[in-house]
Amino acid sequence: MNDITFDYTYLQVEQTGGVLTLTLRRKAKLNAMNAAMMAELTDIFRRIHERPDVRSVVLTGAGKAFMAGADIEEYRSFDLGAFFAFQNKGRDMYRAIEECAKPVVAAVNGYALGGGFELALACDLIVASERAKFGLPEVKLGLVPGGGGVQKALRILGPYAAKDMLMTGRFLTAQEGRELRFVNAVVPPEQLAEAAATLASSLAEQAPLAVQGLKKLVNEGRDASLETAQAYDRAYLANLFYSADAQEGITAFAEKRPPLFIGK
Ligand code: COA
């Protein structure tokens, strides 16, 4: 990997061309997220944001889980201060993913529960194995989700499906996720890595500033009024028009050749 090495305990990092694949590796605990893993995820997404050689990201889990949520064992050692510090660090981590300039594909290989479901929802696209299970089971611990899951579930699923998921804590299959429109594609387990890599490679070939803009415009537009959101869209478009990549895209179309985008 280029000049900077990524050396983490809970994350395996591999780069193929412009695609960076991050694999959560805490298999024995179903990749449950402790404070150290959270810090590593925040760190890598902040670093990826600055890296022109990284054009898209795949996030997946080792073993039978994507991530089975916050480390419940670690919770037992927390007092209220430590618990809130953990929640605040979680917010920083989800924000680092959502604000990262690169598109992120969640390749959900198994359980995506609690913070793990919130992690998948912080990504831009979700490809799920037929074995994936999505849930917000905090209610079973006497808690509620703290990483944005309540409000995201409401906005994505609507109040009735959200309350079903939140109040019963039941797990949804990949197919249900597809029907509820937060899963982009469902594939057999053995095809997951390739499906996610193919999608990430196609994103890596798009004009980076346009993709970055689309991520930001959709994420920010979701909670803005239609008029305000469309004003953001137009402002972003106006800024893009004289970018080297937009000029290249327009010229390449006229010259009947594929464009070569450089991210400027
Ligand atoms: N935090 C800490 N450890 C966890 C964990 C979590 N969120 N989820 C799983 N683990 C650990 C288990 O304690 C077990 O460890 P052990 O082998 O040392 O006992 C190991 O991971 C394997 O999990 P296990 O429960 O034996 O697997 P399973 O296939 O029987 O069940 C789940 C899988 C996901 C249904 C079950 O582990 C579960 O309900 N996990 C908690 C999910 C949750 O509530 N997440 C939200 C947290 S806020």
Q: d(Cα 102, Cα 214) in Å, to the nearest integer?
A: 10
Q: Round the CA-based radius of gyration of the chain to a whole number and report it.
A: 19
pLDDT in tens, 141-179: 999 999 999 999 999 999 999 999 999 999 999 999 999
Spacing, Cα 62 to ligand 1 middle (Å): 14
CA of 123 to the centre of ligand 1 (A): 23
Torsion of CA 138, 186, 110, 46, to 10 degrees: -80
Active site residues: 118, 138
Whether 111 contacts 117, CB under 8 Å: no
Q: How far is 114 from 136, CA to CA, in rounded Å? A: 4
Residues 40-96 have pLDDT tens digits of 999 999 999 999 999 999 999 999 999 999 999 999 999 999 999 999 999 999 999
- Backbone torsions φ then ψ of 138, nearest 5 degrees: -55, -30
pLDDT, tens digit, 9 for 90 and up, residues 248-258: 999 999 999 99
Q: Write down the domain spans for the chain.
A: 2-204, 208-254
Fold of domain 2-204: 2-enoyl-CoA Hydratase; Chain A, domain 1 (3.90.226)
Is the CB–ligand 1 distance for residue 137 below 6 Å?
yes
pTM above 0.85, yes or no: yes
Among protein residues, the one whose CA lies closest to atom 37 of ligand 1 = 68
What are the beta bridge partners of residue 34? Answer: none
Query: Is there a contact between 169 and 135 (Cβ–Cβ < 8 Å)?
Result: yes
**Strand order through the sheet with 111-113:** 65-67, 111-113, 133-135, 172-173
Pocket lining: 68 vs ligand 1, CB cutoff 6 Å: yes
Residue among 149, 139, 142, 146 at smallest CA distance from 169: 139
How crowded is the C-beta side of 118, counted as CA atoms within 13 Å? Answer: 27
Question: What spacing in Å lies between the alpha carbon of 31 and ligand 1's midpoint?
Answer: 9
